Amino acid sequence: MDKSVVLGYSRIGPVLRRAWWPADAKPDALAGRHVVVTGASGGLGAGIAAGCARLGATVHLVGRDKDRLDESARTIRSSVAPATDLVTEVCDISDLDSVRDYAADLSGRISELHGLVHNAGVLPPERRESPQGHELVYATHVLGPSLLTHLLRPVLAADGDARVVWMSSGGMYTRPLDTTDIEATQREWSGTDAYARTKRMQVVLAQMWSDRMRVDHIAVHSMHPGWSDTPGIADALPGFHRVIRPALRTTEQGADTAVWLVSAPGGSVTAGASGVFWSDRRPRPLTYAPWQKETPGERARLWEAVGGAIGVDVA
C-alpha cells in the first residue's frame, strides 16, 4: 500500500489497516505519566496531545506562542474532559538557548518523563536562520530535538520505560542522507528539499539515539503520519492541499501512531523495536532504493555535525 503512496498515505490506509494492527492502549495507560509534545499549538501536535490526555497523561504542550498553546489546551479540554491535565510551556525548538532554558526548567519541576514527541516543524518560503545562525529547517527538525533529547535524558531514564518519538515524513523517502551541505549554504534553496532532507536525518538520528539510549531503557522511534489535513500543510503547500484534501487523514488518524508508540505496554513490540521507522502501527522500510541507503561514514558525519552544533559529545 505504501508503494502506491495514495493508498498507504491517505485516509484509506488506517481504515484498511485497523483490522489487523495492534490493540489500542488501555484507557488509563498513561495515568500518572508526563508526556512532552512539541509543536502542540495545533495540527498533529494538538492531536497527539489530545490522544495522550485521553489516556490519563499530564501533557506538556510546547510551542513558541503562549496564546496559541492556551487556545489549543482549551480545545483539547473541551473534547476530552475539563479536568484534563495540560501544561502550556513556551519554547522555540529552533533556538538552542531556548531549548536549554526549557529543559532546565522542566527537569526542575518533574522527576520522571515518560514520553517526548518531537513534532515541531517548519517549511519556510525562503532560507532563514535560527538565533544561533543555523539554517532554520535543520535547526527545528534536527538540532533542537537532538539537544532536547540529550538534556532530558536523565528524567527519561528515571521513568524506566520512556519513549522518544520523532515525527518524520514519508517525504524522507525522496532523499538520501546528505552530509555534504547540511546547512544548505551552497545549494539553491528549496523549502521542500530542506524539509525532505531533514526528515531523512531525523530517521537516521532516531536510530543513532536508540543505540545510545537503550542502556537507559529509553525506546526511540521515528514515524510518519501519512497525509493529514493540518493547518501547516494548508499554509505551506496550498496547491497540494487543495487537490488532495478529500483523501487527507483526519488529525486523529495522523496522530494515532505517535500516541500508540507512547502508550503501548512496556515489553511490547515497540520496546523491542527501538530505532524503527513506523507508520500505522507497523514498522516500515527505511529505504525503497539502494541509492538511498546511507554509509557508516555518512552516519558518523551527521552525528559529528549535530553534536558540534549543539555542543554535545555523546559517545
Distance of CA 43 to the CA centre of its chain: 13
How buried is 105 (Cβ within 10 angstroms: 0-12 exposed, 13-18 middle, 19+ buried)? exposed
Distance of CA 292 to the CA centre of its chain: 21
Torsion of CA 213, 219, 224, 225, to 10 degrees: -140
Give the per-residue pLDDT at 35.
Answer: 98
Whole-prediction pTM value? Answer: 0.91
Mean pLDDT of 48-65: 98
Give the per-residue pLDDT at 237.
Answer: 58
Distance of CA 127 to the CA centre of its chain: 22
Helix (H) or strand (E) holding 149: helix 144-151
CB 6 within 8 A of CB 35: no
Radius of gyration of the chain, Cα coordinates, nearest whole angstrom:
18
pLDDT tens-digit profile of 218-255? 999 999 997 665 665 555 556 655 656 666 878 999 99
Buried b / exposed e along 287-309 (16+ C-beta atoms within 10 A): beeeebebeeebbebbbebbeeb
Of 11 and 28, the structure prediction assigns the larger pLDDT to 28
**Helices 43-54 and 66-79: angle between axes, nearest 10 degrees:** 40
pLDDT tens-digit profile of 176-186? 898 999 999 99
CB 297 within 8 A of CB 276: no
Distance CA 14, CA 131 (A): 39
Distance CA 141, CA 6 (A): 25
CB 51 within 8 A of CB 259: yes
- % residues pLDDT > 70 (the chain): 85
- Other residues' Cβ atoms within 10 Å of the Cβ of residue 4: 11
Q: 3-class DSSP state for residue 99?
A: helix
**What single-letter amino acid sits at 159?**
D
Of 44 and 284, the structure prediction assigns the larger pLDDT to 44
Complete DSSP assignment for 227-240? SB--HHHHHH-HHH
Give the per-residue pLDDT at 32.
Answer: 96
Give the per-residue pLDDT at 16.
Answer: 59
Of 115 and 192, the structure prediction assigns the larger pLDDT to 115
Has residue 3 got a pLDDT over 50? no
How buried is 120 (Cβ within 10 angstroms: 0-12 exposed, 13-18 middle, 19+ buried)? buried
195 in active site:
yes
Q: Which of 9, 138, 173, 195 is catalytic?
A: 195
**What single-letter amino acid sits at 292?**
Q
Spell out the domain ranges in the chain: 27-310
Instruction: Kindly report the CATH class assigned to 27-310.
Output: alpha beta
Three cell numbers at 305? 555535525
CB 31 within 8 A of CB 46: no
